[in-house]
């Protein structure tokens, strides 16, 4: 898995014979040059098709290296692995235009590793009129649903998304499971920290914790129509990016912008992520009693404290913990989900949830590239 945070590749080896079990993990950071090129490819530019093809080859090589290091660490041979589920790197997500684009050369990845590859998970759902995202709620339903308790799973990556899990009504039941992208997760926070701290992220949220939320700016951000849209919905860098933030600043008067300290902006962005998640749960998933967080945002103490306060003040006084409390490490939930999605494709099981994505019905997701 490599997501909107653009930090690197999470590789997870997963046993799916019964309950998903994490066997080994490996993380490979993106080289800065590759990260810069991926960021550039999010916008229109010169020779895009050629550059995208070259980056797809680079990604396949990086994915293959991550797989090989993972298997070496786990002392597993390639022929023992059923498949690689590879999401690829999203550079365009325009379901309203009928397409989504994740860069990856899956054939090259299969060639390098000698393992069958399942990729391009979103396109089939988009073809059926869906958003193609989020896809992980089906995995959340398979792993985290409980009898007698209404749970919510909050994934805080570059973009944040939630899954509402009503109490299970039978083995494998996915009735009434809902989910959607709430808006920015770590993406704007990381970009601001990189610009003002020279770091990839605000470690522990210390920079944000030292600032003061600017209520006028926060209100301008929360007024974006995306936050009030009804699910199903999904979003990404196509909507929430540096120019979006600049537009929010332009709504303030010059004196307010001039007096805005960098740490105040960081605090405001952290509050935006926390508020948008909590308000989305209160509005669209009002019965949630327990919330469990996963993704990189779990390591941002300031962000988690803000989110915990907002959830506790909500209609059901929702409690917050990480998915570690459910037996799954929060750093690896999404990578495990794509292993599970690959299994569903190989076994010809539908893996989208139409109530989540808005597709016309259940669909088998992913293109299979045999070894």
Per residue, the 3-state secondary structure of 268-330, as one string, reads HHHHHHHHHHHHHHHHHCCCCCEEEEECHHHHCHHHHHHHHHHHHCCCCCCEEEEHHHHCCCC
Residue 252 pLDDT grade (very low, low, confident, very high; cuts 50, 70, 90):
confident
pLDDT, tens only, 320-370: 999 999 999 999 999 999 999 999 999 999 999 999 999 999 999 999 999
pLDDT, tens only, 289-304: 999 999 999 999 999 9
One domain, residues 128 and 156: no
Q: Distance (Å, rounded) from C-alpha 90 to C-alpha 101?
A: 6
Average pLDDT on 144-171 reads: 91
One domain, residues 89 and 20: yes
One domain, residues 156 and 271: yes
pLDDT, tens only, 20-32: 999 999 999 999 9
pLDDT of amino acid 171: 47
Tokens encoding 145:
């649903």
Tokens encoding 211:
């600032």
In a domain, 1, yes or no: no
One domain, residues 250 and 271: yes
- pLDDT greater than 50 at residue 9: yes
Q: Distance (Å, rounded) from C-alpha 115 to C-alpha 369?
A: 9
One domain, residues 122 and 142: no
pLDDT of amino acid 170: 56
One domain, residues 167 and 279: yes
In a domain, 3, yes or no: no
Q: Distance (Å, rounded) from C-alpha 254 to C-alpha 300?
A: 31
Going across the sheet that includes 178-184, the strands are 178-184, 159-165, 151-156, 290-294, 319-322
In a domain, 103, yes or no: yes
Q: Distance (Å, rounded) from C-alpha 70 to C-alpha 67?
A: 5
**Which one, of 331, 225, 207, 204, lies nearest residue 269 by Cα?**
207
One domain, residues 38 and 87: yes
One domain, residues 161 and 273: yes
Average pLDDT on 310-328 reads: 95
Residue 315 pLDDT grade (very low, low, confident, very high; cuts 50, 70, 90):
confident
For the domain that residue 237 is a member of, what is the CATH number? 3.30.420.40
Could you tell me what percent of the chain has a pLDDT over 70? 98
In a domain, 59, yes or no: yes
In a domain, 273, yes or no: yes
Contacting residues for 139 by C-beta, under 8 A, at least 6 apart: 333, 336, 337, 340, 341
Contacting residues for 76 by C-beta, under 8 A, at least 6 apart: 13, 23, 24
Structural domain range at position 109: 8-133+331-369
Torsion 165-168-172-173 (CA) sign:
negative
One domain, residues 169 and 57: no
One domain, residues 288 and 341: no
Number of domains in the chain: 2
Q: What mean pLDDT, rounded, does the chain reach?
A: 94
pLDDT of amino acid 172: 46
In a domain, 64, yes or no: yes
In a domain, 267, yes or no: yes
Average pLDDT on 148-153 reads: 95
One domain, residues 118 and 187: no
In a domain, 2, yes or no: no
pTM to 2 decimal places:
0.94
pLDDT of amino acid 174: 46
One domain, residues 161 and 217: yes
pLDDT of amino acid 102: 97
């Amino acid at each position: 898995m490599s997501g909107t945070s653009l930090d690197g590749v999470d590789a997870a080896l997963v046993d799916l014979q019964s309950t998903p079990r994490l066997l080994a993990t490996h993380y490979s950071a993106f080289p800065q040059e590759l990260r810069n090129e991926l960021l550039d490819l999010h916008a229109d530019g010169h020779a895009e098709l050629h550059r995208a093809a070259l980056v797809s080859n680079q990604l396949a090589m990086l994915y293959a290296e991550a797989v090989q290091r993972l298997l070496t660490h786990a002392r597993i041979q390639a022929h023992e692995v059923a498949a690689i589920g590879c999401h690829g790197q999203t550079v365009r997500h325009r379901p309203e235009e009928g397409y989504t684009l994740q860069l990856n050369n899956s054939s090259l990845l299969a060639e390098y590793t000698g393992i069958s590859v399942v990729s391009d998970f979103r396109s089939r759902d988009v073809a059926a009129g869906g958003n193609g995202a989020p896809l992980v709620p089906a995995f959340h339903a398979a792993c985290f649903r409980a009898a007698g308790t209404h749970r919510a799973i909050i994934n805080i990556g570059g973009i944040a998304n939630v899954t509402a899990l009503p109490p299970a009504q039978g083995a494998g039941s996915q009735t009434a499971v809902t989910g959607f992208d709430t808006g920015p997760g770590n993406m704007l926070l990381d970009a601001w920290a990189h610009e003002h701290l020279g770091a990839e992220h605000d470690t522990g949220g210390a920079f944000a914790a030292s600032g003061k939320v600017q209520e006028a700016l926060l209100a301008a951000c929360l007024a974006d129509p995306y936050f009030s849209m009804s699910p199903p919905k999904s979003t990404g860098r196509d909507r929430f990016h540096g120019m979006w933030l600049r537009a929010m600043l332009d709504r303030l008067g010059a004196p307010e912008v001039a007096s805005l300290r960098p740490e105040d902006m960081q605090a405001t962005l952290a509050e935006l992520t926390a508020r948008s998640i909590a308000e989305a749960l209160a509005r669209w998933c009002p019965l949630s009693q327990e919330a469990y967080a996963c993704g990189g945002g779990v390591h941002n103490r300031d962000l988690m404290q803000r989110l915990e306060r907002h959830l506790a003040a909500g209609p059901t006084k929702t409690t917050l913990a990480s998915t570690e409390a459910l037996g799954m490490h929060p750093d690896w939930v999404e990578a495990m989900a794509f292993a599970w999605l690959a299994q569903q494709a190989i076994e010809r099981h539908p893996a989208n949830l139409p109530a989540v994505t808005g597709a016309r019905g259940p669909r088998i997701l992913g293109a299979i590239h045999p070894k």
